[in-house]
Amino acid sequence: DLDHDVLAAETSDIKPTGSRFTPTETYVFIDLEATGLPVLDILPDITEIAMVAVSRKVFEEGSTSRAPPRALDKLVMCVQPSREVNPGAQKMTGLSKSFLEKHGRKQMDQTVEMTVRCFLARQAQPVCLVSHNGNRLDFPVLKSELTKVEKKRLLTNVYKVDSLMFFQTHLTQRKHAFALLCSQFLGQETSHDAEGDSVGLLQLLSDRYPDLRINFSNGPIPLKPYFE
Ligand code: DCM
Ligand code: MG
Ligand code: MG
Condensed to tens digits (0 to 9), the pLDDT of residues 36-51 reads 999 998 999 999 999 9
Q: Is the pLDDT of residue 67 over 50?
A: yes
Of 208 and 75, the structure prediction assigns the larger pLDDT to 75
Which among 48, 43, 37, 35 is positioned nearest to 191, based on CA atoms? 48
The answer to whether 74 and 54 are in contact (CB under 8 A) is no
Mean pLDDT of 164-169: 84
Bridge partners, residue 35, by sequence:
none
What amino acid positions are annotated as catalytic residues? 192
Q: Which of 32, 33, 90, 183 to mutate to test the pocket of ligand 1 (most atoms within 8 A of CB)?
A: 33
The DSSP bridge pattern shows strands 46-55 and 158-162 to be unpaired
Cα-Cα end-to-end distance for the chain: 27
For the chain, percent of residues with pLDDT exceeding 70 = 82
- The predicted-structure confidence for 190-207, as pLDDT tens digits, reads as follows 999 999 999 999 988 886
Q: Is the pLDDT of residue 1 over 50?
A: no
Distance in angstroms (rounded) separating the CA atoms of residues 88 and 90: 5
Of 72 and 221, the structure prediction assigns the larger pLDDT to 72
Q: Which ligand is nearest to the CA of 78?
A: 1
Mean pLDDT of 125-129: 91
